[in-house]
Amino acid sequence: MARRKVKLLRIERMLIKFCVFLLVMIPASSVFGKAMLSKTNLEVERLKKEISAQERKNQSLTMKVNELQSFENILEVAKNQGLAYNSNNIKVID
Protein backbone atom coordinates (compact mmCIF):
# COMPACT_ATOMS: atom_id res chain seq x y z
CA MET A 1 0.00 0.00 0.00
CA ALA A 2 1.35 3.34 -0.95
CA ARG A 3 1.32 6.05 1.64
CA ARG A 4 -0.75 8.97 0.79
CA LYS A 5 0.98 12.32 1.02
CA VAL A 6 -0.85 14.72 3.30
CA LYS A 7 -1.06 18.12 1.76
CA LEU A 8 -0.95 21.01 4.21
CA LEU A 9 -2.82 24.16 3.58
CA ARG A 10 -0.90 27.41 3.28
CA ILE A 11 -2.20 28.68 6.62
CA GLU A 12 -1.15 25.44 8.34
CA ARG A 13 2.39 25.77 6.97
CA MET A 14 2.58 29.35 8.17
CA LEU A 15 1.25 28.30 11.57
CA ILE A 16 3.90 25.57 11.86
CA LYS A 17 6.65 28.04 10.87
CA PHE A 18 5.37 30.51 13.43
CA CYS A 19 5.37 27.86 16.18
CA VAL A 20 8.94 26.83 15.31
CA PHE A 21 9.95 30.49 15.34
CA LEU A 22 8.43 30.93 18.80
CA LEU A 23 10.10 27.76 20.07
CA VAL A 24 13.46 29.20 19.02
CA MET A 25 12.94 32.83 20.03
CA ILE A 26 11.43 32.40 23.50
CA PRO A 27 14.48 30.62 24.99
CA ALA A 28 16.84 32.93 23.10
CA SER A 29 15.13 36.03 24.43
CA SER A 30 15.14 34.55 27.93
CA VAL A 31 18.90 34.00 27.77
CA PHE A 32 19.43 37.49 26.36
CA GLY A 33 17.30 39.01 29.12
CA LYS A 34 19.21 37.19 31.84
CA ALA A 35 22.52 38.28 30.32
CA MET A 36 21.39 41.90 30.32
CA LEU A 37 20.19 41.58 33.92
CA SER A 38 23.54 40.15 34.96
CA LYS A 39 25.38 42.97 33.19
CA THR A 40 23.19 45.53 34.94
CA ASN A 41 23.79 43.90 38.34
CA LEU A 42 27.55 44.05 37.78
CA GLU A 43 27.28 47.73 36.91
CA VAL A 44 25.23 48.38 40.06
CA GLU A 45 27.85 46.65 42.22
CA ARG A 46 30.64 48.65 40.58
CA LEU A 47 28.77 51.89 41.23
CA LYS A 48 28.14 50.92 44.86
CA LYS A 49 31.88 50.40 45.34
CA GLU A 50 32.61 53.78 43.77
CA ILE A 51 30.03 55.45 46.00
CA SER A 52 31.45 53.91 49.17
CA ALA A 53 34.98 54.94 48.16
CA GLN A 54 33.79 58.51 47.52
CA GLU A 55 31.95 58.56 50.86
CA ARG A 56 35.17 57.55 52.63
CA LYS A 57 37.04 60.37 50.84
CA ASN A 58 34.32 62.84 51.78
CA GLN A 59 34.45 61.76 55.41
CA SER A 60 38.23 62.14 55.44
CA LEU A 61 38.01 65.61 53.91
CA THR A 62 35.33 66.63 56.41
CA MET A 63 37.59 65.58 59.26
CA LYS A 64 40.45 67.57 57.72
CA VAL A 65 38.24 70.66 57.37
CA ASN A 66 37.13 70.35 61.00
CA GLU A 67 40.75 70.06 62.07
CA LEU A 68 41.80 73.10 60.05
CA GLN A 69 38.94 75.28 61.29
CA SER A 70 39.61 74.51 64.93
CA PHE A 71 40.17 77.50 67.19
CA GLU A 72 43.69 76.43 68.11
CA ASN A 73 44.72 76.16 64.47
CA ILE A 74 43.28 79.58 63.62
CA LEU A 75 45.04 81.15 66.60
CA GLU A 76 48.35 79.52 65.62
CA VAL A 77 48.09 80.73 62.00
CA ALA A 78 47.18 84.22 63.19
CA LYS A 79 50.22 84.37 65.49
CA ASN A 80 52.50 83.09 62.70
CA GLN A 81 51.22 85.86 60.43
CA GLY A 82 51.77 88.47 63.13
CA LEU A 83 48.10 89.07 63.74
CA ALA A 84 46.45 89.75 67.08
CA TYR A 85 43.52 87.73 68.40
CA ASN A 86 40.30 89.74 68.61
CA SER A 87 37.31 87.58 69.50
CA ASN A 88 34.86 90.23 68.25
CA ASN A 89 36.05 89.75 64.67
CA ILE A 90 35.72 85.95 64.55
CA LYS A 91 32.56 84.59 62.96
CA VAL A 92 31.73 80.92 62.99
CA ILE A 93 30.37 79.53 59.72
CA ASP A 94 28.87 76.06 59.69
Which is nearest to 94 in space by CA: 73, 75, 69?
A: 69
Using pLDDT thresholds of 50, 70 and 90, give the confidence band for residue 1.
low
Q: Which alpha helices (DSSP H) does the chain contain, by range?
A: 10-68, 71-80
Question: Residues 16-73: pLDDT tens digits?
Answer: 999 999 999 999 999 999 999 999 999 999 999 999 999 999 999 999 999 988 888 8
Distance CA 69, CA 62 (A): 11
DSSP 3-state of 7: coil
**pLDDT of amino acid 58:** 98
Is pTM, for the whole model, over 0.85? no
Alpha carbons 64 and 78: distance in angstroms, whole number:
19
Q: What is the torsional sign of CA 14, 18, 19, 21?
A: positive
Give yes or no for residue 13 having a pLDDT over 80: yes
